[in-house]
Structure 1
Amino acid sequence: MEDAEVILVEIAYAKPEEQAILHLEVPIGTKLQEAVEQSGILDRFPEIDTATMKVGIFGKLKKPDQVLRAGDRVEIYRPLIADPKVVRKQRAAQGKKMKKGGG
């Protein structure tokens, strides 16, 4: 392949104890899911399920068939372990209790 036929992208995945950012050259026209599969990140993190994974580019959720552009950072998102709205409500309720208790 000539340089004009490939683009450079990054594949990013993070767990609380480990993060990975892989640099990858892919042919122009490569789709997001194809880049994830070509990167080798699935071997390193076997818990990633390509059938259900949520992915994005620079923090914006995208579909797996999104065609990549040069410089894109593909991010693989882990499932949430808690609903952020519920957690915020719980924290707010705890804060109100603490203030009323005089402490």
Structure 2
Amino acid sequence: MAAENEASQESALGAYSPVLLNVLTLNRNLSDSLARGRLHPDLQSNVLQVDSEFTEEEIEFLEARGHHVEKVDVLSWVHGSRRTNNFIIGVKDPRSLDATGASIL
């Protein structure tokens, strides 16, 4: 997997973690996991950034638990690949600007 973000590389782990959690623990497929919303806690400013995939209901849930939430369009893009037998498939984050037609067989 590779992560791209606009802020810094410190949030790369925050980008990878939810995707890996969805794939390895919750048994979701890679494409679905890449399309799900991501969040990134900024420990210095005590702000929890969430991307545009989070609903207002989810944001209200986090705020009700004392989090200061900041919604941004895109936190990061994560791209991945998987190999099945002799096929290598590249999967691009649907948020990235060039995501259309990006899956390679």
TM class by smaller structure: under 0.3
Q: Max radius of gyration: which structure?
A: 1
**Could you tell me the TM-score, scaled by structure 1's length?**
0.27
Provide the TM-score with structure 2 as the length reference. Answer: 0.27
Relative contact order, higher structure (CA 8 A, sep 6+): 1
